[in-house]
Structure 1
Amino acid sequence: MGRKKPATTAATPTRPEDERLGIAPSFAYGLQHVLTMYGGIIAPPLVIGQAAGLSQLEIGVLIASALFIGGLATLLQTIGIPFFGSQLPLVQGVSFAGVATMLAILSGGGGLPAVFGAIIASAVIGVLIAPFFAMIVKFFPPVVTGVVITSIGLTLIPVAGTWAMGGAGSEDFGSPANIGLAGIALAIMVLLTKFGTPALARLAILISLVLATIVAAFLGMTDFAGVFDGPIFAIPTPFAFGLPTFEPAAIISMLIVVLVTFTETTADILAVGEVVGTKVDSKRIAAGLRADMLSSAVSPVFNSFTQSAFAQNVGLVAITKVKSRWVVAAGGVVLVLLGVLPVLGRIVAAIPTPVLGGVGVALFGTVAASGIATLAKVDYKNNLNLIIVAISLAFGMLPVVLPDFYHEFPTWFQIIFHSGISSATIMAVLLNILFNHVVRRSNSRGDRNAFIAAAGRTVPEEALDALEEGDYYVGGKLIDKDGVEVKVVPTGSIAAVDPPQH
């Protein structure tokens, strides 16, 4: 009687991001991703809708459309199809990079149809140029990626601070009650992360959001009374605001937004690849950028705007250590449901903004810490990597700490450099090319300046033969572990290799 063959088991995934956790945990962790970026994804349609003079009901259509398309775009980015999708745990949503440009198009009198037409045309062009943009990945060594990841975290921290204060425009903005509620959310998250079981620690963000919201309800700082006001189910209607129009000037201005989106999405792909610990090459970046642009081209059909990866969720991957792209794909399904079930969106919207701010402080700080960890691996000896990091980070922080820094510059310049992430990335790439590719040979002579770290010292290997465990050198004398001075003799003497016995 032959031996029974062992049962076939699923192959262990070769990439960390391919791990499957099961339906229940995937949707639980996916919901965390949705809650983390929810405020960011609904902000652009809210701003654009108000600027376009839409009613509250029409703005609600824009928000539902943004959630619906964001979910579909997330599924495309995480699951992927040939040539489209990075297959990384990246949540997609409406990019804030294009808000200023879209406001300018609206002020020109074209209305939402002109905005949608510019997005469609620029996105189609973006699909074609994505592979060429992705070729610059070779100019993203650790000294650049470390700057990019750090700048992502530092740039997002003011966002978390604004949320913690109650959200821009709130009547009680900056009140002790708002900041205190944010502190409660942060404290719950920290305690769960430190003292909870591994399962609770991974769900610390979600649990802290729920518990802090319950606290807010008892304090009268949130209200669920209007959750069931309005439709329960609604599918976004195509071209609800009219057919798109195509204005050359608007298309050109949106092309600049596409390039900014490319820069930020490339940074996010590199950042999440570093956090996950997986290989990211130019083909993968190109597939991710094409997914961005395909989603952006389809987005206006369903009344939404340019799509891009959300940096906020990189921090969630880093802090929870849940690297599966299928978890984020489950979050994409949740976004689609929020888009077709407005009642769910109203429930999520009832979470107080300060609660999001409390957990955001930890999430975005974790992104910055991941960037610092990458920078710690960089070689700073006998090169100009230190000045690359110094200038790039400072350049990226300028528009963050001084939002009006480029106020007098042309609009196209403001669109590019008003983003701290884009500013830091562009400067880091350019300085890396200059110092480590163009003029690297000129520094090989051993030139020194204030920004070049001293070259590493060397000691002849044979000198180590005379040392014993615990020996140390101080004040010009060699001392052994017992505090007795060891005599130093000229090179070649037998005593140099015959240490005294005690």
Structure 2
Amino acid sequence: MSQNNAPARRCLGNESRRHASAGHNRLRDVDYLPPLQKAIPLGIQHVLAMFVSNAAVPLIIAGAAGLSSADTVFLVQMAMFVAGVATLVQTLGIGPLGARLPIVMGTSFGFVPVMIPIAAAQGLPAVFGGALIGGLAMAVVGLCYRRLSVFFPPVVSGTFVLLIGILLLPVGFAYVGGGVGAEDFGAPHHLLLAALVFIVTVAFHQFCRGFLSEAAVLIGILVGCVAAAPMGLLDFSPVAEAGWFQLPIPFEIGLAFDPAAILAITLMAVVTCAESIGDISGTAIGGAEREPTARELSGGVMADGLSSSFAALFGAFPQISFSQNVGLVALTGVASRFVVAIGGGFLVLAGLVPKLGALVSAIPAAALGGAVIIMFGMIASAGVKMLSHAAFNKRNMLIVGISLALAIGLPAQSGLYQGAPQQIGVLLESGLIPGALASIILNLILPKADDEAAAADSPGT
């Protein structure tokens, strides 16, 4: 009897495999909408994975610029609202804009080393004026990205990302000590709180799986906030004062078009296109299991740029795809762009609730510091990973070495350019601008020797 039923069992086994394969292919389809009872939790998971990182940039800039509590709440609120709108544009598309892939947008850390000195010297309106122009430049790169790819080989883009991580670390450790200008900076309670968040975040990231690992930063900060309560480090008075609902107001902070700010932020926007292209490619390969199309790359970078310009109008900072969510797509195996669009909708709603922005702003500086030093370190390690795709010959090692020397050395010795015009001083003080410029220019002018040509990286790498 078992022999007679063998063909039937084989048929049933083949049928099960076909159903499993069909289910796998459906989940990898970017145009597939899972049932809402599954799609909504998956969309919220994307929001939780990026929420703290998205809010960290306005908190850092506000702290460096010495903004009031009300202004800080506004910046956080706008960061959430604009990230939601940008995510909807990126996932659903508007005409040629948007990759129409499961890409979560948020505030870029890459601009922080440049924006801090501009905000301190010329104010936030100059930052937003530069971001408006920089976003337009980024959109142009998206429109012509094939012709401009020669500027962004791995040795350039990897050096750029490495510099971002290195130059952000001093900012992170300022938060570990209690925040810029704190009267009790470096007090033991700040250091202990930062250490707790650091340990919890690393533990969840390394020893847990799935969502608990992806949300390690969020969990670490929540544990830090609980520990900070009995220390008297949590101040919820801004939450009580904030309203329940407020529509975004364009030009609330204003725009100022300072040449130095425009040059610095526009250069950053153009160089950041390399990171954007990498995230779009990673999403298509890790989620949909295919290479991205030319239209997806072009539309995705254009959406990044115009979303950044849109952000400047509403008092938010430049936008870019969030790498941790790229990893989340690959981890869950769900590549539906509509799932991520649901998450974008939740971000828009969160941006309309000032109390939520005030709640995020109440995070103690030391708790945030314990988490962001890990984020910034991971940015630097991502740059090292990108550099691994470049040949480590004497030409590329010189490019990386000179870029590091300028980016780290110049800000440490501001007396060298103390007599320079203020516009030049702002560019040099960031460190990232001279470092990025050096990598781009050296890559264009340094010859590739015949015996190194095979190992040297190409623009299409």
Q: Normalising to structure 2: TM-score of the pair?
A: 0.73
Aligned partners of 2:303, 2:52: CA distance in 1, in Å? 23
- Indicate which of 430, 434, 458 corresponds to 2:441: 430
Structure 2 residue 25 is matched with structure 1 residue 11: yes
More helix by share: 2
Contact 2:82 2:348 in 1 (8 A): yes
Aligned partners of 1:64, 1:214: CA distance in 2, in Å? 23
Contact 1:91 1:328 in 2 (8 A): no
1:308-332 Cα distance to aligned partner (Å, 9 max, x none): 338xx54676699759696875664
Alignment of 1:38-437 (within 5 A): 38-44=55-61, 50=67, 60-61=73-74, 64-77=77-90, 79-85=92-98, 87=101, 88-92=103-107, 96=112, 97-98=114-115, 127=139, 131-132=143-144, 135-239=147-251, 250=257, 252=259, 255-270=262-277, 272=279, 278=285, 286-299=298-311, 301-302=313-314, 304=315, 307-309=318-320, 313-314=322-323, 332-381=344-393, 383-399=394-410, 401-402=412-413, 406-435=417-446
AA at the equivalent of 2:450: S
Structure 2 residue 41 is matched with structure 1 residue 24: yes
Contact 1:388 1:431 in 2 (8 A): yes
How far apart are residue 357 of structure 1 and its match?
1.4
How far apart are residue 175 of structure 1 and its match?
1.8
Aligned partners of 1:181, 1:320: CA distance in 2, in Å? 32
CA distance 1:42–1:195, change in 2 (3 Å): closer
Q: In structure 2, what is the equivalent of residue 457 of structure 1?
A: none
Aligned partners of 2:78, 2:66: CA distance in 1, in Å? 12
More RCO (CA 8 Å, sep 6+): 2
SS in 1 for 2:240: coil
How far apart are residue 270 of structure 1 and its match?
4.7
How far apart are residue 342 of structure 1 and its match?
0.7
Contact 1:392 1:428 in 2 (8 A): yes
SS in 1 for 2:319: strand
Q: How many percent identity over aligned positions?
A: 25
* Range that drifts further, 186-195 or 407-416: 407-416
How far apart are residue 77 of structure 1 and its match?
4.0
Contact 2:128 2:317 in 1 (8 A): no
SS in 2 for 1:228: helix
CA distance 1:29–1:71, change in 2 (3 Å): closer
SS in 2 for 1:91: strand
SS in 2 for 1:290: helix
1:166-225 Cα distance to aligned partner (Å, 9 max, x none): 221222222221121111011112222333344422222221121121111133221335
Contiguous gaps of at least 5 residues in structure 2: 1-11, 286-290, 457-461
Aligned partners of 1:330, 1:13: CA distance in 2, in Å? 16
CA distance 1:212–1:103, change in 2 (3 Å): closer
1:237-269 Cα distance to aligned partner (Å, 9 max, x none): 34557xx78x8xx36555424522423422432
Structure 2 residue 54 is matched with structure 1 residue 37: yes
Contact 1:271 1:314 in 2 (8 A): no
Aligned partners of 2:270, 2:316: CA distance in 1, in Å? 18
SS in 1 for 2:241: coil
Contact 1:119 1:251 in 2 (8 A): no
1:452-487 Cα distance to aligned partner (Å, 9 max, x none): 99xxxxxxxxxxxxxxxxxxxxxxxxxxxxxxxxxx
Q: In structure 1, what is the equivalent of residue 9 of structure 2?
A: none
CA distance 1:119–1:379, change in 2 (3 Å): closer
CA distance 1:125–1:9, change in 2 (3 Å): closer
How far apart are residue 134 of structure 1 and its match?
6.8
